[in-house]
Amino acid sequence: MNTIFNRAGLAAAVAGACLTAGLAHASSHREAPFITEMPKVDGTDFYMFRSYESGREGFVTLIANYLPLQDAYGGPNYFDLDDDAIYEIHIDNTGDAVEDLTFQFQFSPVENPIVLNVGPAGDQKAVAIPLKGASAGVGTTPQEGDKFQVSQEYELTVISGDRRTGTRQAAMNATTGQPTFRKPIDNIGAKTFSDYEAYANSHIYDVAIPGCSPNGRVFVGQRKEAFAVNLGEVFDLVNTDPIAETEIERNDEQNDLADKNVTSFALEVPVACLTGSAMTGTGDPVIGAWTTASIRQARVINPAPKSNDKGASIEGGAFTQVSRLGMPLVNEVVIGLPDKDAFNASEPKDDGQFATYVTHPTLPELLEILFSSAGATAPNNFPRNDLVSAFLTGLTGLNQPSGVTASEMLRLNPAIPAVAESSQDDLGALAGDNAGFPNGRRPVDDVVDIALRVAMGALTTDAPNRDVPFTDGVRVDPLNLQETFPYLATPIAGSPNGTP
């Protein structure tokens, strides 16, 4: 196999690896006890890849997904983001497990009260309607009189250095010259939106990033869930056959996320602005990144909320991180239950506290217990330094920064050219497609199958199952993807009926 994962070379590369951090695997949905109470700030997936849209080869695309398991029909309030939270994408371009750049998103409501005059003359009253939308159809641009009572806009701040104390500069809407952008209303249905795709696309903005040229692009809004996983059976003690005998068996189970939407933060940035050479003059060719969400420490519930007052609650105090995501599914299937909330509150520089979950991972042992009759045998090469290279430091010759500090984050070598969508292999670097996971992550990459195989020893020279094609039986459907920014497909409509 023509692949960067040459076993002999890799074994030599990781023989002396020093472990200081924790591991990862696939996507995160409701992964920790505390975050289940706050779905608006629950990070679900993070993608980072060289842009493969024609003409955008000089850019990297970052996509951070939040608010999992959205049923399209979930009205009347649908899936707004948290106005009292901050959402962030962090970039480490020096390999030291500390952010050098942060892209910070904050939201605010746009209110447009809509009332109907109800009753006969002499007894007519102006009464607020119970729905978000007032009538079918909206303007072709978000500034053209959205017919909704409540929508959202956001500001994008670029922070150089420490996310709390670094230099802060506003990214600007390159069209309006203002520091605000609009989030489209979720896809309610065809009677509300005669052409939702065109409406959503009008919310893709050229963005002027301070100190960076040329302009990038940004979009925040609902998308069709692109991640594919046999979620119910996986968490029922892997209640499926995890070993594929043919490629067909990699796709013979149900994708439990096929009918879900998610909210995406998509940002396209010139390569040089992320590696550091354009904005700071320093940096490594390889970049690492992760996402977080933070909320205020204090919340006071209003026991009698009324219109025109402070609302149902008042938030205050310092921001505290409650969600974290880099490499996919780390907190769901690697971190032990007692430490899941702690991981969500942690930073990569402190990942040594989770080291045991990597040196002695439980997932391979569970698979051996559950499927010993099928020949599943966990690797016994402890500590698992093969996993250190794959998930914590990057692979030598592929995506490992010089002088790297081992830490859990997604790493990308943007010097590796993008592969056109039609030629991408969903097994990424395991299949010789070095533009794919774990060199960053593209929407098509089947990170579950890749991670299962790596966990069971695909990168070692002596693991009994190093050549076994482990799978959850579900693959990413390319029809759920686009070839152009923001790459994830138009969300499922809440109403099944077409335009009347």
Predicted confidence (pLDDT) at residue 144 exceeds the cutoff of 60: no
pLDDT at 16: 32
If pLDDT is split at 50, 70 and 90, which confidence band does 28 have? low
pLDDT at 280: 66
Lowest model confidence (mean pLDDT) among 87-101, 244-258, 420-434? 244-258
If pLDDT is split at 50, 70 and 90, which confidence band does 26 have? very low
pLDDT at 248: 81
Q: Is the pTM of this model over 0.85?
A: yes
Q: Which of 274, 292, 276, 287 is nearest to 404 (CA)?
A: 287
The percent of residues above 70 in pLDDT, for the chain, comes to 88
Q: How far is CA 389 from the centre of its chain?
A: 22
Q: How far is CA 69 from the centre of its chain?
A: 13
Predicted confidence (pLDDT) at residue 395 exceeds the cutoff of 60: yes
Instruction: Give per-residue pLDDT as tens, 274-300.
Output: 997 766 667 778 999 999 999 999 888
Whole-angstrom distance, CA of residue 290 vs CA of residue 250: 29
12/480: higher pLDDT: 480
53/23: higher pLDDT: 53
Lowest model confidence (mean pLDDT) among 135-144, 164-173, 188-197, 441-450? 135-144
Instruction: Give per-residue pLDDT as tens, 322-359.
Output: 999 998 877 777 778 888 888 888 999 998 898 888 88
Predicted confidence (pLDDT) at residue 484 exceeds the cutoff of 70: yes
Give the DSSP letter string of 177-246: -SS-EEEPPP---TTT-TTHHHHHHTT-EEEE-TT--S-EEEEEEEEE------HHHHHTTS-S--B-SS
What is the three-class DSSP state of 413?
coil
Whole-angstrom distance, CA of residue 409 vs CA of residue 438: 10
Residues 395, 14 contacting (CB under 8 angstroms): no
Overall average pLDDT of the 185-204 stretch: 92
Overall average pLDDT of the 255-263 stretch: 92
Overall average pLDDT of the 400-427 stretch: 94
pLDDT at 33: 61
Overall average pLDDT of the 371-389 stretch: 89
- Domain positions in the chain are 35-480
Whole-angstrom distance, CA of residue 272 vs CA of residue 279: 8
pLDDT at 358: 81
If pLDDT is split at 50, 70 and 90, which confidence band does 178 have? very high
If pLDDT is split at 50, 70 and 90, which confidence band does 430 have? very high
Overall average pLDDT of the 424-440 stretch: 95
pLDDT at 60: 98
Mean pLDDT (the chain, rounded): 86
pLDDT at 273: 94
Instruction: Give per-residue pLDDT as tens, 94-142.
Output: 999 999 999 999 999 998 888 888 999 999 998 888 888 765 433 333 3
If pLDDT is split at 50, 70 and 90, which confidence band does 236 have? confident
- Give residue for tokens 């809509």: 114
